[in-house]
Amino acid sequence: MDDHDRPHCPGILINLDKIPRVSLASLPTPLVEVPRLAKEIGLTTLFLKRDDLTGFAGGGTKVRKLEYDFAEILANKNDVVLTAGGVQSNHARLTAAAARRFGLDAKLVLGGPPFTSFDGNLLLDVLFGASIRFLPNDDENDHLTSAMTAWADELKMNGAKPYISPIGGSTGLGALGCVAEMREIAGQMIPHQRLQIVLPVGSCGSFAGILLGAKLFLPNARIIGISVSRTSAAIEKRTLEIINECCGLMDIPPALDDIAVESYDQYVLEYGIPTEEGQRAIIRCAHLEGILLDPIYTGKAMAGLIDLVHRKKLDSSVPTVFIHTGGLPVLFSFEPEFRKLADCKNC
């Protein structure tokens, strides 16, 4: 066991590596320092954990979760995988791609405002040959989930063996991918260093895995979630449920009382709608570091990080890691928001 693999909870044996996992991502993803951005926003040291570079089908942190889900799917001998989400869901795109990677069918229930062109993730869903059922003007999780369950029932009646992956793929099993990610980050940092780690939070699976992984591998890290949809109270409830599930799978005591679930929900106006601050954060990151964020997840989370530094809620002298969870295809579905920036002669 390397030093960074050693769990910091006395008496706890990490059973993570015994849990079946397939390989989809190129790991470890780079941890890169971004000094110009750090200086501009007032941090001494800022790193980006480049999960946008997980390398599979457009990348993103969700690939880490799918490595555990697809081990289960293959063991169950499912022949079709269903999931649901917003029209620009990264999880849906990656689930469709992973299904194809293993020769399975993919079915997606997507909801939201009617769209005029198949762009961003939707275009990739089409390329991966996923069948789509669209719920116009409806992004209620319960409605999407019922439509998906009804579709799975139809498939079963026709002799198929469907697997349902919930919205965002946020289950205890999938979150193990982010527990493992914290072991990866621990191996890339100076051991026992104080750290602040910031990431976007949607359906809470990534946040849950990162929080539990911090407890096990990076106990001096403070984890800060920036909501892209839910209230902080709803985040805390769901995150602790997922952590509890993860602990059950790893056969370790949950000890939820020592986990501080710190999240901020004021940087999202509405899920799926870009904010001005988020757009400014995207432009800053692109101009200063040549790195691309997206308007729905990472741009809003970066805007939150910047504001928390300005309001001194983050300690500017403590090294900070921003988890770049991916989402690049989403950027291409927001062309009207960014076209005004074009500095282009004769166009």
Ligand X SMILES: Cc1ncc(COP(=O)(O)O)c(C=O)c1O
**Binding status of residue 205 toward ligand X by CB under 6 A:** yes
CB of 193 to ligand X, least distance (A): 25
Q: Which two tokens stand for residue 86?
A: 């917003």
CB of 329 to ligand X, least distance (A): 9
- Residue 123: exposed, middle, or buried by beta-carbon count in 10 A (0-12, 13-18, 19+)? middle
Q: Which of 21, 49, 64, 91 binds ligand X (CB under 6 A)?
A: 91
Q: Which of 112, 162, 177, 326 binds ligand X (CB under 6 A)?
A: 326
Residue among 91 and 107 whose Cβ is closer to ligand X: 91
* Phi, psi dihedrals of residue 53, rounded to the nearest 5°: -105, 30
Instruction: Report in angstroms the alpha-carbon separations of 340 from 24, 336, 337, 343.
Output: 37, 7, 7, 8
Instruction: Find how far residue 195's CA is from the centre of its chain.
Output: 20
Segment contacting ligand X (CB under 6 A): 39-47, 201-209, 304-312, 337-345? Answer: 201-209
| Residues 114, 65: Cα–Cα separation, whole Å | 29
**Binding status of residue 325 toward ligand X by CB under 6 A:** yes
**Binding status of residue 267 toward ligand X by CB under 6 A:** no
What percentage of the chain's residues is helix, strand, coil (to nearest 5)?
A: 45, 15, 40
Residue among 168 and 304 whose Cβ is closer to ligand X: 168
| Residues 105, 135: Cα–Cα separation, whole Å | 20
CB of 81 to ligand X, least distance (A): 16
**Binding status of residue 60 toward ligand X by CB under 6 A:** yes
Instruction: Report in angstroms the alpha-carbon separations of 99 from 81, 115, 162.
Output: 7, 25, 11
Residue among 316 and 332 whose Cβ is closer to ligand X: 332
Residue among 60 and 304 whose Cβ is closer to ligand X: 60
Summarize as ranges the residues that interact with ligand X (CB under 6 A).
60, 62, 90-91, 168, 170, 200-207, 297-298, 325-327
